[in-house]
Amino acid sequence: MSHLTKKDRIAIRAALDAQRIHLLQGLKSALEESGQTQFAEVLGRTSGDSADEALAETLGNLSAARMDNEVHTLRALEAAYKRLDTPDYGQCEDCGGDIPAARLIANPAATRCVACQGRFEHTHAGQAHGSM
């Protein structure tokens, strides 16, 4: 049974809403900028300079990585929305212990307690996304 109160769930839902809005604004901004303006300028200056071309490519890769990370986070938030009203929301997926409400307000998509998340990150360092 969940340890979260109705007040906790309201605060977590507000945090989810705020993070979702922030991410969507960031993605919209990144999509508006992507490749079109900032990278085109760098490439437009190139006169066969491979350093400028490499810089433009790097900027493009960074933008794509940022957008990929934001999409991943957005998906994690959407999953948290679906779990929020279930009895097991707020329980660690590894040990089954309670995830403190303060952690869930700060990171509503968290699926592990701090200790288990630390172990997960230590054993899965350098691999694809964790579960926050």
| Phi-psi region at 110: left, alpha or beta (left = phi > 0; alpha = psi -120 to 50) | beta
pLDDT digits (tens, 9 = 90+) for 14-31: 999 999 999 888 777 776
Residue 131, in any domain of the structure: no
Q: Rounded distance, CA 55 to CA 6, Å?
A: 50
Local confidence band at 125 (pLDDT 50, 70, 90 cut-offs): confident
Reported confidence tier of residue 52, pLDDT bands at 50, 70, 90 = low
Residue 45, in any domain of the structure: yes
The domain that holds 25 is classified in CATH as: 1.20.120.910
Phi, psi of 91 (to 5 degrees): -105, 135
* pLDDT higher than threshold 80 for residue 50: no
Exposed e or buried b per residue across 8-41, where buried means at least 16 C-beta atoms within 10 angstroms of its C-beta: bbebbbebbeebbeebeebbeeeeeebeeeebee
Do the domain assignments include residue 1? no
d(CA 80, CA 5): 16
What are the tens digits of pLDDT across the range 67-122?
Answer: 778 888 889 999 999 999 999 999 999 999 999 999 999 999 999 999 999 999 99
Distance of CA 106 to the CA centre of its chain: 12
Q: Is residue 71 part of a domain?
A: yes
Does residue 130 lie within any of the structural domains? no
